[in-house]
Structure 1
């Protein structure tokens, strides 16, 4: 399941049916958000089932998903962790920076020991840090790249020979191909419509809830979420800068320090004020 949110106006705090602050917000399959009671009552008296905003027609009563919180990016950024690349897992074509924060594909395969942790064929590297509980979040700059993959993987993944990125094989990733083709490696891959293209991608994991979410940090928008995942072992941050492509894809992936945009603080305060005003009116 995927959904998007854009923190651009106060109107996004309001349900378009009741014109009030969201109560138990849910998302329709077309991506619009409503109070759960409002959209439920709307469909009880209106048939066929349509989205009140875009008028998309549903052949049967659609299943509603829980709306991602309007300030979801700001919230998950509170779970930021320090991630560095593990050179013992890096494919021999990869070049890592001394501080373990950058990686790109070089022009020559290095002679390195084929230890069990190392990716022998695919252009991948893992983070040094592992996680088996709680929540964690990290951000990666992808600016200037034509191809890349990012996400998390379980500890027991295959690291030798050809690898398929899919949850069934222990990978939860999104990626870019051919400069503008975004996909989620959901097995089979899911094509994503991402506009504008991200310069920085945030990766959030809630281990207990089985959730992996990806964010376009610059647009403060959700790109895609894997939900209902079953995690039973350690998870590692996963990075693939992909092949150099004759210098066309030579820009590095860069693990960034997480900074919270000022507008998130403003919107958080504004949302709290709207909620307080609503509660006052009800008294």
Structure 2
């Protein structure tokens, strides 16, 4: 044993785990040696045992016995060296050649194998020992290489699993996003549909209430008319009766009032409309407007935006301060490209003022008015073929076109007349019904 101790160095008696000289060395079934505490402490009895050097698996866990030969060699070495085996010194002694440690471990394993099969180390030639050591090293290298390949394959499989999980997650997220977007769109559509239904219902209520208001106004007018007729016909009442009847009649037609606005797409290029599209007047400055087949090109006129093809409607226009104007209704197919005089034959039913004091219905019917109207009311009964004009302030009836045959849409018609050096600069104004 002393001879063996002389052959061995400290590097050959190191545990591959703690890198220190063996303490209570034990051998694994695969022939490798370790400190008893290094190889037994971290091992769970229920977990398969794996050799730290060759990676061989053993199950159940083998019982590791103290290697008395190695233990005696360590004791002999320590006695001969008379110095403690410290990890720091061993590590510094190895320097940058960790293969020395591996060779030492393999040599010790080879020594144990020789003893196990009754082949003493002394009986093996130096060449045989080197060949066996080379074979052991090559086997260890191959086993490590296989472990490296297994580890690389495990990493690749893990990467493939991660990529697959990421792809699956992306699909789930996309499906969830699509579901949320569809749900949001459906919710928005439900809200919009509910709003539309609410608006339609409200419009229906409004139309019904407006109709009720008109009916109540007509009933009130009829009651007022009956009350007037039932009054005692005194001389004073006979004088007031025509005016009272006119007031009642005006209130009756006013019950059919509609909201009218001016249509800028039909306005002559010399006309100026207000921002609220309720006023219009003439200027001497022609605007550069795009071509529009609905526009008046030679007549200083404009139509209302609203059209009517049935029922009754009424609107009022302020004409105060003007020396020329024309008001009424016109059918949709009127000629807007030529300068024509409005007449029923050409699709116009109008009254107007010219030269400051000449009132006419259409181009030919002269009108004699007791006073110049400041505000004119226009009433149309489409089915009865009636167009009537009223002086709103006095409730006087100005003129009516009767027996008309309407087959097209009718539009309110407005012509403020030429500006006439400021004498006729006041605008025509569509006013609300009081």
Work out whether 1:239 is the aligned partner of 2:414. yes
Report what 1:87 is aligned to: 264
Work out whether 1:144 is the aligned partner of 2:144. no
C-alpha deviation, 1:183, in angstroms: 0.5
- Alpha-carbon contact 2:246-2:395 (below 8 Å) kept: no
Report what 1:170 is aligned to: 347
Q: Matched residues in 2 for 1:171 and 1:72: separation?
A: 24
Q: Deviations over 1:15-46 (max 9, x none)?
A: 9xx959xxxxxxxxxxx98xxxxxxxxxxxxx
Report what 2:404 is aligned to: 229
1:168 aligns to what SS in structure 2?
Answer: helix
- Alpha-carbon contact 1:132-1:234 (below 8 Å) kept: yes
Q: Deviations over 1:103-124 (max 9, x none)?
A: 0001201111221000001100
Report what 1:158 is aligned to: 335
Q: Please identify runs of 4+ aligned residues in structure 1 that moved more than 4 A.
A: 12-15
2:255 aligns to what SS in structure 1?
Answer: helix
Report what 1:73 is aligned to: 250
Q: Deviations over 1:232-274 (max 9, x none)?
A: 0100000000100011000000000011xxxxxxxxxxxxxxx
Q: Matched residues in 2 for 1:175 and 1:136: separation?
A: 20
Determine which structure has greater relative contact order: mean sequence separation of CA pairs < 8 Å that are 6+ residues apart, divided by chain length: 1
Q: Matched residues in 2 for 1:114 and 1:190: separation?
A: 35
Work out whether 1:207 is the aligned partner of 2:382. yes
- TM-score (structure 2 length as normaliser): 0.44
2:399 aligns to what SS in structure 1?
Answer: strand
Greater fraction helix: 2
The structure 1 residue matched to 2:306, chosen from 129, 133, 145, is: 129
Report what 2:293 is aligned to: 116
Q: Matched residues in 2 for 1:131 and 1:111: separation?
A: 31
Q: Matched residues in 1 for 2:288 and 2:373: separation?
A: 34
Q: Matched residues in 2 for 1:114 and 1:178: separation?
A: 32
RMSD: 2.2
- Alpha-carbon contact 2:246-2:396 (below 8 Å) kept: no
Aligned residues: 200
1:182 aligns to what SS in structure 2?
Answer: strand
Matches within 5 A, 1:267-278: none
Q: Deviations over 1:56-89 (max 9, x none)?
A: xxxxxxxxxxxx8761100000000000000000
Rate the CA distance shift 1:162–1:141 in 2: closer, same or farther, 3 A.
same
- Alpha-carbon contact 2:378-2:390 (below 8 Å) kept: yes
For structure 2, list consecutive stretches of 5 or more residues without a partner in the other structure: 1-224, 235-240
Work out whether 1:216 is the aligned partner of 2:391. yes
- Alpha-carbon contact 2:326-2:417 (below 8 Å) kept: yes
Q: Matched residues in 2 for 1:228 and 1:114: separation?
A: 36
The structure 2 residue matched to 1:193, chosen from 326, 343, 368, is: 368
C-alpha deviation, 1:194, in angstroms: 1.1
C-alpha deviation, 1:219, in angstroms: 0.6
2:390 aligns to what SS in structure 1?
Answer: strand
C-alpha deviation, 1:228, in angstroms: 0.3
Query: Larger Rg: 1 or 2?
Result: 2
- Alpha-carbon contact 1:114-1:120 (below 8 Å) kept: no
- Alpha-carbon contact 2:361-2:367 (below 8 Å) kept: yes
